[in-house]
């Protein structure tokens, strides 16, 4: 993952369920071989890019690899943002 704020600095926590794969944050591509389940970010505006990767029975295989439109997110320090995969 990209550099994250230290635990002693203000940060927001982003968490992602198994089927959501974070591809990029703020135009910085991530290694898609590693799944990011949670990441700390500085408070403020961020742009996230996701892909849907079904991981288990019941996940929508027809949506595999589907990439979402870049997602703008304004984060606040001390807040945990929990994302949910919906197809």
Which pLDDT band, with edges at 50, 70 and 90, does 55 fall under? low
pTM as predicted? 0.79
Instruction: Read off the pLDDT of residues 2-27 as tens digits, 9 standing for 90 and up.
Output: 789 999 999 999 999 888 889 999 98
Model confidence at 75: pLDDT above 80 = yes
For residues 11 and 78, give the distance between their C-alpha atoms in angstroms, rounded to a whole number.
Answer: 6
Model confidence at 87: pLDDT above 80 = no
Place of tokens 């997602």: 71
Instruction: Read off the pLDDT of residues 24-48 as tens digits, 9 standing for 90 and up.
Output: 999 899 888 888 899 999 999 999 9
Cβ atoms of residues 86 and 17 within 8 Å = no
């Amino acid at each position: 993952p990209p550099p994250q704020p230290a635990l002693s600095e203000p940060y927001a926590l982003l968490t992602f369920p198994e089927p959501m794969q974070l591809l990029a944050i703020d135009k910085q591509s991530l290694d898609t071989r590693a799944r990011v389940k949670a990441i700390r970010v500085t408070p403020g505006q961020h742009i996230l890019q996701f892909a849907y990767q079904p991981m288990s029975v019941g996940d929508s295989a027809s949506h595999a690899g589907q990439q979402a439109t870049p997602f703008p997110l304004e984060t606040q320090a001390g807040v945990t943002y929990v994302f949910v995969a919906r197809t």
